[in-house]
Structure 1
């Protein structure tokens, strides 16, 4: 029954949210997205993205909506927030992590269950959007803490999982802000903010590395500049 509702009512509600969110970003952001067509030929892809602002999740989901079914991962605290639980539920977001106040056995069980869901989604040909740094940047560069193990665990369990790297430029508070003249007829000097996104297959991330080395390599990849600049 749940699968039927998701494919019928859920599909219509997702499309409604897509129209609203895509319309908002079309009005206030001028977005270019290189490489998104590559996702169509790579079902069940793990998308590893930079996390430069709170707009990342909805903007990426809206841009990729018509390309492939992408299920975002979110922190448990955001997922269970009353203010955004419903849209995240409709988007079939996957909550990750757990409260540190939980007993270790309960946290471990939640982690195993989350990984099972992720592998099931990937196995069904849907893609997963994951922000390896875990939170919005508080500094100019991306930092992946040595103890964060989500990406490492996913790829160790299924090393053949297709992986793509998604980098965003021009959206975060530590990134260059450029604007067009879209709103100049209203007398506004700043129009839509330019945002560049780049999605590319990732082949040089070895899950056989120990966790610290793996995260260091992942951090290096996330901080590489977008080819061609911004």
Structure 2
């Protein structure tokens, strides 16, 4: 029954919000996407994105919506924020992590369950979006804490998963802002801000590496 509603009412709702969100970004941002065709030919991809602003999640979902369904991953606290329940449900967000107050056994069981959910999503041909740094950057570069294990855990559990990095340029506070003249007829000096999304396939991430070394390698790729 849940799958039926997702394919009918859920699909219509996603289309409606896609039109709204895509229209917003078309009006106020000039967005180009490189490598989108590679994602279309590679269903069930783990997308590892830089995190430069609060727009990242909805912007990526809107730009890739017509290419592939992208299921975002979010932190437990964000997922269970009542104010964000509806957009989380519509986007099919997947909650990562768990409350630190839980017992170790319960947290381990939760991680196992999440990895199974992600595996099922990938096998169904949907892509999964993950921000390896876990939060919006407060400095020019991406910094991945050595203890964050989400990416490595997913690849260790599902080693055949195709992987792509996604770089967002022109949107964050530490990135140069360039604008076109889209709104010049209204007397505004600045028009839409130019934003570039670049998808790049990755074939040599090794989840067997030490976690700190794995994260350092991934950090280098995201800052490359």
Q: Please tell me the TM-score bracket, short chain as reference.
A: over 0.9
Match for residue 155 of structure 2? 155
Query: What secondary structure does 2:39 align onto?
Result: helix
Query: What secondary structure does 1:37 align onto?
Result: helix
Deviation track 1:139-179 (CA, whole Å, cap 9, x = no partner) reads 11001110000110111122221001100001111111111
CA distance in 2, matches of 1:192, 1:73: 28
Match for residue 208 of structure 2? 208
Deviation track 1:20-55 (CA, whole Å, cap 9, x = no partner) reads 100110111000100011111111110110011110
- Shift, 1:83, TM fit: 2.0
Q: Where does the alignment leave 5 or more consecutive residues of structure 1 unmatched?
A: 225-230
- Shift, 1:204, TM fit: 2.5
Match for residue 218 of structure 2? 218
CA distance in 1, matches of 2:175, 2:101: 35
Deviation track 1:180-202 (CA, whole Å, cap 9, x = no partner) reads 11111111111111101100111
Does the CA contact (< 8 Å) of 1:78 and 1:85 recur in 2? no
- Shift, 1:98, TM fit: 1.2
Match for residue 228 of structure 1? none
Match for residue 101 of structure 2? 101
Q: Does 1:164 align with 2:164?
A: yes
Q: TM-score, normalised on structure 2?
A: 0.98
User: What are the residue-to-residue correspondences of 1:75-224 with 2, within 5 Å?
Assistant: 75-224=75-224
CA distance in 2, matches of 1:82, 1:187: 40
Does the CA contact (< 8 Å) of 1:35 and 1:198 recur in 2? yes
Q: Figure out how many residues of one structure are paired with residues of the other and give that number.
A: 224
- Shift, 1:124, TM fit: 1.4
Does the CA contact (< 8 Å) of 2:44 and 2:161 recur in 1? yes
Does the CA contact (< 8 Å) of 1:71 and 1:94 recur in 2? yes
TM superposition outliers: structure 1 runs of 4+ over 6 Å:
none
- Shift, 1:103, TM fit: 1.7
